[in-house]
Structures are given as C-alpha cells and as structure tokens.
Amino acid sequence: MPVAKPESSDSRVIAHVDMDCFYVQVEERKQPQLRGLPTAVVQYNEWKGGALIAVSYEARKFGVKRSMRGAEAKEVCPQIQLVQVPVARGKADLNGYRSAGSEVVSILSRRGRCERASIDEVYLDLTDAAETMLAENPPQNLEKIDEEALKSHILGLNNEDGSDVKENVREWINRHNADHRDKLLACGILIVAELRMQVLKETEFTCSAGIAHNKMLAKLASGMNKPAQQTVVPSSSVNGLLNTLPIRKMKQLGGKLGISLQTDMGVNTVGDLLQFPEEKLQERYGINTGTWLWNIARGISGEAVEGRLLPKSHGSGKTFPGPRALKTVPAVQHWLNQLCEELSERLCSDLDQNKRMANTLTLHARAYKSSDSDSQKKFPSKSCPLRYGTGKIQEDAFNLFQAGLREYIGFYGVKTQGSQYSGWGITSLSVSASKIVPIPSGTCSIAKYFHGQSTPHFSSMQSLDNVNAEATLLLPPGSECYSELNSPKAESWIEDTVPDLDLQEQKDLSSSLSKTQDGFTQDISPSLLSGTEGCLEQNQNKQERYITKVEGQFKSEYKERKGKRVKDKGTETPSILELFKSYNPYPFGSSLSQELKKTAQGTGARLTIGHAEENEVGKEEKPMHGSSSRDEGDGRREVWSYNIDEIDPTVMDELPQEIQDEIKAWVQPHKWRPNNNTARRGCSNDANDIILTSETRNVLAFGNLPDLDLAPSSDQASFC
Ligand code: TTP
C-alpha cells in the first residue's frame, strides 16, 4: 500500500528523464543505416515475426504498436525494419541495453542527485543546481536562451493561436516578477535542456523529460511530449493536470487500489478524489494510504530522489506459456541453470564494479497441475541466503524449486525426479538476487560485515521446509505479457506484486518473462544440462581478485596492529583473507582456501606467499613446496597462493615508491623482468614459486602502508 511522505520542500526542482523508444535507439546506434526508418525491436522467437518490444517514432506514425507481432506490423507498415533483440542462453540478453542506460545515467548525474528508476528512466533532484543558478546567473538576466529550452512545453502557458510559442517560453523563463518556485523551475528548464543535449552529444540518444516540484508530477509530465522534448509543470498548473487524469494512470493506482477507487468510490480521475475529506479516505484505506490519496489529489508528494545509480536487485526469468510449459524436473533444471548463470554473471560484475553483494536468492515460478481441483493454488516463492558462484546459485535455486514443488503438489507428488512427466507444468521461472548492500568501507565495518554474514548457509541436504516463503509471484494472475508500461495492468503487477524488485529490474525481468510467451519451446534434452565450471572459475577468479583489492581497506587496522605487535605478539588478528576463510561458506562459497588452491594449481607463474606466525617479523621463512594451503600439522605455518597475473597492478601503484621497488624486485623475475637472473633475494628451486614473508604478504594484501619499515634482509623473501 502506498505511504504518504511529508513533502520535504515545496521548492524542489525534480526532473524525470525517459529515453525515447530506447531499445530501438540502441539498435540504431549499432546499425546507423536504420536511422530515420520505421523500426521495431522484436523478441527473438520467430513465431509471427516475434512480439514487438520497442517501436520507433517513425513506425508509430504508420500505426505500428508495441502490442503487435512482427507480422502484424509488416501489414500496417511493409517497410518496417524488424531487429531481433540480442539473445544469450536461449533468452533475451539485455546487457547492451543496460550498459547504454548506464552511459546516460553517468551524464545525467553530473548536475544533481540521480536515481535510476528503470533501464531507461532516471529521476534527478536539481534543486541545488537551480538554486545556485538563480543566485549566480538568474534566467531573467540571460540575453540568449538555448533553443532546446525554448522548445519546452510549459503546462498552463497560454499559447494562443498565432502567438510565437518560443517567444512565450522565453518570456516565462525571463520573468522578473515570477515567484521563487517558478524561477527555480525556469532554472530547471535550462539545466535539463542542457543535460539532454549533452546526452545526445555523448551517446547519440534522445530523451524526453518532465520538470516539476516533485517526482510524481515530473514523471507524469515526461511522457506528455515525446520524443526529444521536455514538459514543465508549474504549481499553478497542477490542478489542471490532475483533474482529468484517469486514476489508473497514476503510479501505484494501476492495481487493486485503483480498481477499488473506481468501483467502490466512483473515482475515475485524480480530480474526483478532491471531493473526499482526508478522514473519509483514511477510514476506507487506512491512515497512510488515505493521506497519500488525499495528497496526490493535490499534487503533493514528498518522495525523495534516492541518489541510487545502481539497481536494487537483479533478476533473470523466462516464461513458458501453453505448450511450452516445462513438465519435467530436468527441463526445469536446465532452464534454472541458464537463469542462474545469467544472474551469477550480473552479481559478479556488480561485485567487481560496484563492490556490492546481494544477500537473498529467491525463486519464483508459476505452475499448473493437470488434474487439479485447487487450480488457484500458487507455486510458492522460496528464498534462501545467497551464496556466490554459479554452481552454488544453481544448486540452491534448484533446491528452492524442489522445495516449492514439494509444497505445490504435495510431498509424494515429487517422487518423479527423472524426465517422466508428473502431472504439473511450469509456465514461468525466475530467480532474483535482492538485499544488495555495498561492502562497507573502513576496516572495522568490513570486519563487522563479515561477522554479520555468518548466517548458516543453505545446503542441499538441509530441509527446505523452513525456507522463507515469499508470497509474491512475478506475474499477475492471468497476465503473461508485460504490455504497455504505463498501462494499468503493467503498473499494477509491478507495484503490487514485486515489491522487492525495483522498476528497472521489473522491466528487465518482465521483458525476459514476456519474451517467450508465444511460439514454441526449444526442445530440452538432458544433454543440454551442461556444467558451468568455466563460469564458476571465472566468478571465483573475479572474487579472488576482489578479495585482494578489499584487503587494501584493512591497511589502517594493519598499521594499528603492527604497532601493537611489538608489545603483544600473541594477539595478532588475522588478515581479511583469514576473515573470508573463517566466514565461509557464506557469502563466498564453501572454502576460499580451496578456491585459492584451485587457482594456484593453474599453469602460469605462482606467487606463493608463505607466512610463519604473523607476529614473527624478522624470522626467516622456510620454503614450502608442494603445499598451497594451511599446514594443519604444526598449525604455525600457512602458505597463501596467488597467481601473479592476478595481483592487481593498481594495488601496486598505490604503494609508496620504495615499497613498490621492493616488491617488484621480488616479483619481477617472473612477471615484469625478462631476465630472471636479477632476482635480488634468495634462491628458487621452482622458478614459478616465490615465497614471501608475512610482512611482504601484508604489503601486497593491504596496499599502501606509508610507514612500513621493511625488515632486514633476513626477513625478506627467498626464492627457493
Ligand atoms: P519504455 O520506456 O516503456 O518505452 P520506449 O522507451 O520503447 O518508448 P517510449 O519512447 O514510449 O518511452 O520502455 C523502455 C524499453 O524497455 C523499451 O525500449 C523496451 C523495453 N520494454 C520491454 O522489453 N518490454 C515491454 O513490455 C516494455 C514496456 C518495455
């Protein structure tokens, strides 16, 4: 249910920027010969030309609509260019669109707080930028106003027949006697026009925008004049805008609440809500929702622009309608593997690029039973703590599916684990990763973070009966297709049934889900259930590289410890690698040391970083051959194995020069120097092994330690 938030300020300048026919523009940039032609992006399946998911404005002039299939579009516009959405793992691959969206976000975020609302939509809070402009270079003093700004549509501006519209806009922007709020909006007009031009210049994409005092009004305005235009909502025009606006067009009113307002209260437009006192609405819909309804009727909305450039969750899904329903466990497992592989890739790049980790894995499905008296029964959504690594995600997702299936058809119904049909069908499957949190910066918080992650990991052996069930399904009952974004139907299921996924992910996910709604399922054979070790390895390598980087964040704690070390040799705290090991398998998998070992067993040069007890600075290291994991025997020695190629050179670059020189001297024979003979210290029996002391390991691990006093040569690394 929507919740009213007090309007933080009635003088904010908020913009909602929405890309025009986004997927088409991305494809046009790839194939410039398409520019200016009627074009549509279609789902990959060929049945009746595939479903249209994005339609260019040139094609719209011919009457081509997103609800059509390619064949139908050809009928109304024979010259239409149909471009198939990129495909990976038998489903739409939206990565190209996602990164194109990120390009836009990075430009828009230059002028104010930016919230990425979907794959192609962004909210901006431009209040500070507008206030600054007003103070330093107010619009009323401007002699020349940019053409793009002059093309703005200002709601309520009286453009009588024959009057020069641009001249009217110029006057509105230049008004000396305008109130403060309108002056701020005038600044917003200039800033947004400039940003949109910048987006065009840098990305070749056009976008449209709404500019208002809150998010709700800005969003309503952005779609009013498309493509490549901007619309402004001065406060004096709010009533006019809302009075005739159908209630179901409002965000959060596309679903059950909107239906109830229509059927129970006779409210068809937002303006109709004005007749009800706040108490009446509260009585009917509860305090919060009642107040929220009362507010939106007056154009009041306190929702803040969140300052989030990244998605709140990741999801991957696919539908299997009609005859394409999955009817055997291996078939489900095959598709789950594909979905999990995609999810895992996205999680790893999020971890790699944004230093964020997801905590919850959820499986959603829609299903039917062929002999079912209780046909309304839903397949329960299941969640568990998320473990990183493709194989682990696949394993957990499959276990979640089995738990859901057990609940859905009853324990005895699940006995058929093979390829035999057991009287049920799965019509949609999706996996999502949510509760994404940044890995906190700062030593203590990182330590705390990993302490906090000691949740027992979900195991395939563990009973799933206690697994948290989430009551939501990804698709609304009876809805297979993600149709018009602004249609009440789409809004309704987005808002009402997928609270955990943000709009971007909902759009991405629904796009994937809608993709296979017609046509024919590909044959699924058990042989397709191939392993994913390659991806797993890749993910693990990424994680290991990341661990190396994260260790740098422990440097201050290290310094502190190092100071203490002299006094108290016995209380040395382990490094972050120890932390990762201690808190495995969650979230990095069952055994980091095993994974490190795996990496170390690769061919290529190996940097084996041995350490005696952490506090034994100055004690000469003895080489350890044939071992790359903890020596359990004496419990004193431990060897850390790194692949030299995986040492992040940026970590090296951050070190003080003298330390860089030291380390390079040790590592150079293998990595940087063509000639091994110049190794400065020690000897090596195995040219690929470099044994370093604890001190050196810490340098590599923790990064910049400006006051590090390297021990004398007896403590230095030896190549043996
Ligand atoms: P929208 O912003 O809804 O539409 P659009 O950008 O294509 O066109 P407009 O100019 O009218 O805003 O969606 C953004 C992209 O999301 C769209 O280009 C394709 C994708 N999408 C789907 O894949 N399936 C869908 O059902 C919808 C609505 C969008």
Instruction: Read off the amino acid at residue 530.
Output: S
Mean pLDDT of the 41-66 span: 91
354 vs 584 pLDDT, higher one: 354
- What was the pLDDT predicted at 674? 36
316, HSE (Cβ side, Cα atoms, 13 Å): 25
Q: Whose CA is nearest to atom 21 of ligand 1?
A: 53
What are the start-end ranges of the H helices in 66-126? Answer: 70-76, 95-108
Q: Whose CA is nearest to atom 11 of ligand 1?
A: 21
At 201, the pLDDT band (50, 70, 90 cuts) reads very high
Q: Nearest to residue 666, comparing CAs of 689, 643, 648?
A: 689
| Site to substitute for ligand 1 among 18, 19, 22, 229, most atoms within 8 A of C-beta | 22
pLDDT 10s digits, 543-596: 444 444 434 443 444 344 444 443 444 434 333 334 333 333 333 333 333 433
At 208, the pLDDT band (50, 70, 90 cuts) reads very high
Q: Is residue 465's pLDDT more than 60?
A: no
Q: Nearest to residue 696, comparing CAs of 636, 639, 646?
A: 639
Beta-bridge partner residues of 431: 316, 363
Q: Is residue 687's pLDDT more than 70?
A: no
At 4, the pLDDT band (50, 70, 90 cuts) reads low
- Residue 413, CA distances (Å) to 299, 327, 403, 464, 473 in order: 53, 13, 12, 16, 22
Q: Does the Cβ of 23 fall within 6 Å of ligand 1?
A: yes
Residues with Cβ within 8 Å of 114's Cβ and at least 6 positions away in sequence, in order, are 105, 108, 122, 123, 124, 125, 305, 307, 309
At 220, the pLDDT band (50, 70, 90 cuts) reads very high
- What was the pLDDT predicted at 91? 85
Edge to edge, the sheet with strand 381-385 lists 314-319, 424-434, 360-369, 381-385, 469-470
- What was the pLDDT predicted at 252? 87
Work out the mean pLDDT of the chain and round it to a whole number: 70
Q: Which of 90-99, 324-333, 579-588 has the lowest mean pLDDT?
A: 579-588
103 vs 647 pLDDT, higher one: 103
| E strand residue ranges, 597-674 | 606-611, 638-643
Q: Is residue 697's pLDDT more than 50?
A: no
pLDDT 10s digits, 33-50: 999 999 999 987 767 888
- What was the pLDDT predicted at 423? 83
- What was the pLDDT predicted at 660? 53
Q: Is residue 633's pLDDT more than 60?
A: no
Q: Annotated active-site positions, please?
A: 121
Q: Which of 58-67, 392-401, 478-487, 549-558 has the lowest mean pLDDT?
A: 478-487
- What was the pLDDT predicted at 310? 86
The answer to whether 258 and 289 are in contact (CB under 8 A) is no
Q: Does the Cβ of 120 fall within 6 Å of ligand 1?
A: yes
482 CA closest ligand 1 atom index: 26
CA of 263 from ligand 1 middle (Å) equals: 30
Q: Is residue 597's pLDDT more than 90?
A: no
Share of the chain above pLDDT 90, in %: 48
Q: Does the Cβ of 54 fall within 6 Å of ligand 1?
A: yes
20 CA closest ligand 1 atom index: 10
Q: Which of 28-37, 67-76, 428-437, 527-536 has the lowest mean pLDDT?
A: 527-536
Q: Is residue 521's pLDDT more than 50?
A: no
| Site to substitute for ligand 1 among 120, 483, 514, 518, most atoms within 8 A of C-beta | 120
692 vs 328 pLDDT, higher one: 328
484 CA closest ligand 1 atom index: 28
Quickly tell me which residue has 């692949």 as its tokens.
643
Q: Nearest to residue 670, comparing CAs of 683, 695, 653, 687?
A: 687
CB atoms within 10 A of CB 293: 28
Q: Nearest to residue 439, comparing CAs of 357, 361, 557?
A: 357
Mean pLDDT of the 382-401 span: 96
- What was the pLDDT predicted at 528? 25
Q: Are strands 207-212 and 360-369 parallel, antiparallel or unpaired?
A: unpaired
Q: Whose CA is nearest to atom 4 of ligand 1?
A: 21
At 196, the pLDDT band (50, 70, 90 cuts) reads very high
Mean pLDDT of the 253-279 span: 94
Mean pLDDT of the 498-504 span: 35
At 106, the pLDDT band (50, 70, 90 cuts) reads very high
Q: Which of 134-148, 458-472, 636-650 has the lowest mean pLDDT?
A: 458-472
At 707, the pLDDT band (50, 70, 90 cuts) reads very low
Q: Which of 157-166, 225-234, 548-557, 667-676 has the highest mean pLDDT?
A: 225-234
288, HSE (Cβ side, Cα atoms, 13 Å): 5
- What was the pLDDT predicted at 413? 55
The answer to whether 584 and 578 are in contact (CB under 8 A) is no
508 vs 267 pLDDT, higher one: 267
The answer to whether 637 and 612 are in contact (CB under 8 A) is yes
| Site to substitute for ligand 1 among 85, 118, 507, 515, most atoms within 8 A of C-beta | 507
543 vs 218 pLDDT, higher one: 218
- What was the pLDDT predicted at 666? 47
Quickly tell me which residue has 């600044």 as its tokens.
187
